[in-house]
Structure 1
Amino acid sequence: MTRRDALRAGGVAALAGLAGCTVLPSAPGRAGGGGDDGRDSPVAVASFFSFFDFGRQIADGTPLTVENLVPTGLHGHGWEPNASITQRIIEADAFVHVGEDFQPWADRAIQTIRSDGVDTALINAREGVELVDLAETLDQEEEGVGEQRGLDPHFWLDPQRAKQSVDNIAEGFAAVVPEHADAFRDNAETYSSEVLDRIDRDYEAIFDASDRDIVQLAAHNAFQYIGVRYGVQMRPLVTNLAASGDVKPADIREAAAVIDENDITYIANGVFESQRPAQQLVRETDVVAYFPVTPYAGVREEWVEERWGYEEIADNINMPTFDIVLGNKTPEDAAPSPAWLEQWRNFEPI
């Protein structure tokens, strides 16, 4: 009997201290898998939506089931799960995570798995990815990741860097289910070349088309890799890496100055973040409206129903908004549909 089998039989009472007591608003997503709704197939769980989505693309057509641990409607950075999530990790064949120092609950789970000899395979999606230094716009007390805690963890916003994580996940899955290793690697290559490269080209076209090289965000400091990749300044209003930081009066004043100096009419705001700072900028500056942007860190119910992933969110949320805030197109021309414009112009909180 493996350690995981023993824990299946005896529960996870000994591990309950791993996480807080947050009540899950809804069940995480699942994809792939074989008979009996995947219960008899190998299972991989992911600590973050983007890597769940990459995982399900990689596992397509194989018996491996991939599960998203982050509940619908929540941002993946800063969430503290309850003990049921710990149990899911222990029962899984593999745990896809984002590397140390990004999600404390995941770090604690990994420590427990290692110290207790649990045989859940650990797949670090960040391994081998070249990270950039923390942005100068960060709070001076903010800490990032890496040995010196001075690196920005949000690498997956750059589609080219995201390709390394796709390869990492494919190799991790190949070790867990070796009889399907070729399928995992083929799927990873197809996704990287056909999807991530295409997204990269589309983003590049959007940023190259603009005469403006600055984007004002009423959102947290998660978008630096977009700026690094496409040569644009991403100006966050919330100077924390996580989507939970406070907005100070000085932050509003600085954003107002950027808006005035650059004749900015539209700004971007995080889908899963507070809308109050964006609303304040609309009231107090020449900004007319804000539109949605997301670092692929969470999903809405309708996105789950439509099986949206990294690709669909890039196409239907981020790209139209960047076209608008960069001044490439009017909101009416950039919006995929009139319904999109009605939903997302000065959108309300979830």
Structure 2
Amino acid sequence: MNDTRRAEQPRESTRRQALAAGAGLLGTGLAGCLGGGASGETGSNGSDSDDGPVAVASFFSFYDFGRKIARDTPIDVKNLVPTGLHGHGWEPNASVTREIIEADAFVHVGEGFQPWADRAIQTLEDDDVDTQLINVRENVELISLAETLDEEEEGVGEDRGKDPHFWLDPQRAKKSVDSITEGFVDLAPDHEDTLRENAATYKSDVLEQIDRDYRTIFEEADRDVVQLAAHNAFQYVGNRYGVRMRPLVVNLAASGDVKPSDITEAKEVIEANDIEYVANGVFESRRPAKQLVAETPVTAYFPVTPYAGVREDWVENNWGYEEIAYEINMPTFDVVVGNKTPAEAGPEGWAEQWRNFE
């Protein structure tokens, strides 16, 4: 935020407060069945300032990128999605709209992926609120949807026919880091050097290393197919590293229904590829995974997540994209492709904690 805008803040704050107070006008659009408020998580950016710019994020992955970029600057980054909920299917109440109105920037995933975010953006634009919009999907090349996609689902917004889960590919995730960085430089131009240095370090030291380690896992694999008792969110991993991701829930939403034909196809994949372990979404139903364990040679399921939400213990341990990659996804992929036994994968106690987790 530049000095000129800060000088105008009292007028704008008054207007924002009025709009926030009337955010109930969005109630029919934003009040969802879950009715949760924001998580209240803030970024560990090392700032001692309480009056710096505030950026709110509609999705955990980009909240985490944002807080890493903003480290040692006055920018405060907040995650809007409550702990324990999946960031794709969540529908917030009007309190979240108030947070967006009052924020200096709104980090979002682009049109069509989170309908509540689209409605909030429309409200900002209709009411001429100057919350800066940072679209993390800008300049990202999306891949076509998997052939297993539900035929009723065509994609998202202006990218219909494309898969939106690009952040699972560390190389594409770099583009979102770039977009967030540019937005944050506009918020705090006096801290441009720090913001750009943080972003460059995160891309080189974290995302590049994750990319290398994922590549090693799949290059060493005994098989090139992964059966997921989860929704269709991992095609970017398959596309980047040459592995076939077979989702049990064939649409893009984590809440999608599992059909009997989906179970039948999964059984065929399991038998044809001699699969002993499958991957199940941390924030998704366990029932289909348990059915596969009961009705096929599969002996256990282990966790994967598209970084769309966080558990309470992950928050307590300050886990972000990097930690979840190494503590959850990579050990499971090592197991399900046959590189390691569950006892060999992950940190000590990982197999006991996550084998057929509830």
Report if TM-score (shorter chain) is over 0.5. Answer: yes
Gaps of 5+ in 2: 1-9
- Which residue does 2:16 correspond to in 1? 7
CA distance in 1, matches of 2:307, 2:13: 31
- Which residue does 2:277 correspond to in 1? 266
Contact 2:111 2:158 in 1 (8 A): no
Among 151, 158, 167, which residue is 1:140 paired with?
Answer: 151
Contact 2:113 2:157 in 1 (8 A): no
CA distance in 2, matches of 1:208, 1:146: 35
Contact 1:96 1:125 in 2 (8 A): yes
SS in 1 for 2:279: strand
Among 56, 76, 85, which residue is 2:67 paired with?
Answer: 56
TM-fit CA distance, 1:78: 1.2
Number of positions where the alignment pairs a residue of Structure 1 with one of Structure 2: 345
CA distance in 2, matches of 1:40, 1:5: 16
CA distance in 2, matches of 1:213, 1:68: 35
Question: Where in structure 1 do 4 or more consecutive aligned residues deviate above 6 Å?
Answer: none
Structure 1 residues 19 and 26, CA gap change in structure 2 (3 angstroms): closer
SS in 2 for 1:211: coil
Contact 1:76 1:297 in 2 (8 A): yes
- Which residue does 1:80 correspond to in 2? 91
- Which residue does 1:344 correspond to in 2? 354
Structure 1 residues 102 and 262, CA gap change in structure 2 (3 angstroms): same
Q: Which amino acid aligns with 2:41?
A: G
Gaps of 5+ in 1: none
Contact 1:46 1:66 in 2 (8 A): yes
Q: TM-score, normalised by structure 2?
A: 0.93
Q: Which amino acid aligns with 1:220?
A: H
Contact 2:37 2:96 in 1 (8 A): no
Q: Which amino acid aligns with 2:296?
A: T
2:20 is aligned with 1:20:
no
- Which residue does 1:70 correspond to in 2? 81
Structure 1 residues 346 and 25, CA gap change in structure 2 (3 angstroms): farther
**1:1-350 maps to which residues of 2 (within 5 A)?**
1-9=10-18, 11=21, 12-21=23-32, 22-24=34-36, 27-31=39-43, 32=45, 34-35=47-48, 39-147=50-158, 149-338=160-349, 340-348=350-358
TM-fit CA distance, 1:27: 2.7
Structure 1 residues 210 and 291, CA gap change in structure 2 (3 angstroms): same
CA RMSD for the aligned pairs?
A: 1.5
Structure 1 residues 215 and 2, CA gap change in structure 2 (3 angstroms): farther
SS in 1 for 2:55: strand
Structure 1 residues 33 and 63, CA gap change in structure 2 (3 angstroms): farther
Contact 2:35 2:91 in 1 (8 A): no
Q: TM-score, normalised by structure 1?
A: 0.95
